[in-house]
Structure 1
Amino acid sequence: MTTRAERQAQATAKLQAACDKFNAAHQVGAAVSVELDSGEVRETVTTSEAQVLSGHTAVIWLDGISGCYDLDRVTASKVEKA
């Protein structure tokens, strides 16, 4: 049986892995779309790397949007490679 602390550490590690994956694939300034609380989808760019906020949520900061957003609500824009 795992302890609460062990479960929390596992959850945080999973969130950090999601941040690491996003950061490896996308630099600060990457074009993304984000689903706002209203349901509207807005095109913007990242202004930070993804990071774990207070051990409970993977987040990222976005241009023109106050506060940070859950990384699950952010999708990198598809860019044609030359």
Structure 2
Amino acid sequence: MRDDTTAEENSAARFNRQHPIGTPVVAYPGFRPEDDPTAERIETTTRSRATLLGGHTDVVWVHGHDACIALTHIDVVDTTEAVS
């Protein structure tokens, strides 16, 4: 059996397996804060599955933003809290 998946498709598929629609995330629509300390930051949730855009960029749509955002600009929020 031939495997025609690309690294980008594997990245989107991996994201989708680990994070269902509605996952809390912090999204950076422009630059990541490491690259621009004044970068826009959106605390939100995903509203779509991750997909491959244009054959080269893994993206996801989030609530509160009108365009898709590259997975490289998405940080999943860890919602597990230690119980004491």
Common fold by TM > 0.5: yes
- State whether structure 2 residue 1 is matched by structure 1 residue 29: no
Equivalenced residue count is 72
1:60-75 counterparts in 2 under 5 A? Answer: 60-75=60-75
Q: What is the RMSD computed on CA atoms of the aligned residues? A: 1.8
Q: Which has the higher strand share?
A: 1
The structure with the greater share of residues assigned to helix is: 1
Q: TM-score by structure 1 length?
A: 0.79
1:55 aligned onto 2:55: yes
Moved more, 31-40 or 49-58: 31-40
Unmatched runs of 5 consecutive residues or more in structure 2: 32-38
Distance across 2 between alignment mates of 1:32 and 1:61: 11
Any gaps of 5 or more consecutive residues in structure 1?
1-9
Identity, in percent, stands at 29
Distance 1:78 1:19 in 2: 19
Instruction: State the TM-score, normalizing by the size of structure 2.
Output: 0.77
How far apart in 2 are the matches of 1:61 and 1:36? Answer: 11
Of structures 1 and 2, the one with the larger relative CO (CA 8 A, separation 6+) is 2
1:15 maps onto 2:8 in alignment:
yes
